[in-house]
Amino acid sequence: MLQNYDFGDNLKTFDQVYELIATPEFDAFKHGDDWNKFVFRKWFILNNFLVKENIECFWHFDSDNMIFTNLSTLEHKYLDLDCTVQCHGDCMKGFFTNQKIVERYVHKINEVFMRREYISEFKAGLNKQKGPLCFSEMTVYKIFNKEESFKSVRLSKIDNNSSFDDLICRSDGMKMEKLPFGEDSKIVFMNADGRFFCISENDNKPVEMHALNLSWTPIYIYQAILKHFKKNYKKPQQTFSSKAKTLSQIPVPLKQKFKQWRKSLKKKLKA
């Protein structure tokens, strides 16, 4: 339970120095809570958990990542690193080999929020921007990466014709398609053996995905992927088939259609 690890001077300091820094278009509140604040706080909670449970090596992903591979079979590739990174190189995610890298990041979060001149300059710059933008964990990670010394590698690097997805709605060197309501998505083939493949733009070859980052993707896509995986992952491996169904061919449930129509209607009424 999160509350079992929600303690300590670092967290008290964070709760004192944190402030929501965002454009008016940024939707920070979900169910009455500032989710951007939670994204920061979870690192403090995670650090307390690691220390209390005496954990050094571990995997950590956001909950919108769907994992299809036994991750323990990949750990040997990253043992000489401190951590791996995701989010196009802007956040620590994936495999960590030591708790101290998280502790250092936690201290950096508090320290950056207390840089009053920097925060004032960031706010001034943000006021000139339009769209849903905010001061986030990725903002701090960029500073952490610039000012601290540690070893990392991007998980999205293709290795042995396989990779981790950085963000499904961006190409990252893979071929793209449109979902039924116009959302951008990598072309993801749902192979008959429960594996998922994208297609490299460079050489047109299939790349097996160990995980898909489904941020900004309709929830029915999550459900269809999970259903396909659970039904087929125990089958013997089969060669990649270009005739396999892709995400754009997943039928849109009626509930999702109504949701999209309602959203479109709201936009038209606002216009």
pLDDT in tens, 92-143: 999 999 999 999 999 999 999 999 999 999 999 999 998 999 999 999 999 9
In the prediction, which pLDDT does 34 show?
A: 94
Nearest to 97 by CA among 168, 152, 44: 152
pLDDT, one tens digit per residue, over 253-263 is: 998 888 888 88
In angstroms, what is the C-alpha Rg of the chain? Answer: 20
In the prediction, which pLDDT does 115 show?
A: 98
- Longest CA–CA span in the chain (Å) reads 59
pTM of the shown model: 0.91
pLDDT, one tens digit per residue, over 165-208 is: 999 999 999 999 999 999 999 999 999 999 999 999 999 999 99
The predicted model gives 217-227 an average pLDDT of 96
* % of the chain residues with pLDDT over 90: 89
SS3 92: strand
In the prediction, which pLDDT does 161 show?
A: 96
In the prediction, which pLDDT does 74 show?
A: 97
Inter-axis angle of helices 9-17 and 100-113, nearest 10: 30
The predicted model gives 18-37 an average pLDDT of 91
Nearest to 197 by CA among 227, 237, 234: 237
**Beta-sheet strands, E only, within the chain:** 29-30, 33-34, 58-60, 65-67, 83-86, 91-96, 152-154, 162-164, 176-178, 184-186, 189-190, 196-199, 206-213
Tokens of 1: 């339970």
In the prediction, which pLDDT does 92 show?
A: 95
| Element spanning 109, H or E | helix 100-113
Q: Is the pLDDT of residue 234 over 80?
A: yes
Contact 99, 51 (CB under 8 A): yes
How many Å separate Cα 28 from the centre of its chain? 17
Instruction: Please provide the average confidence, as pLDDT, over all residues in the chain.
Output: 95
What whole-number distance in Å separates Cα of residue 236 and Cα of residue 194?
10
Res. 270 pLDDT band, cuts 50 70 90:
confident
In the prediction, which pLDDT does 190 show?
A: 98
Contact 156, 166 (CB under 8 A): yes
Contact 132, 26 (CB under 8 A): yes
Contact 115, 21 (CB under 8 A): no
Reading phi first (left if > 0) and then psi (alpha if -120 to 50, else beta), residue 31 is in left
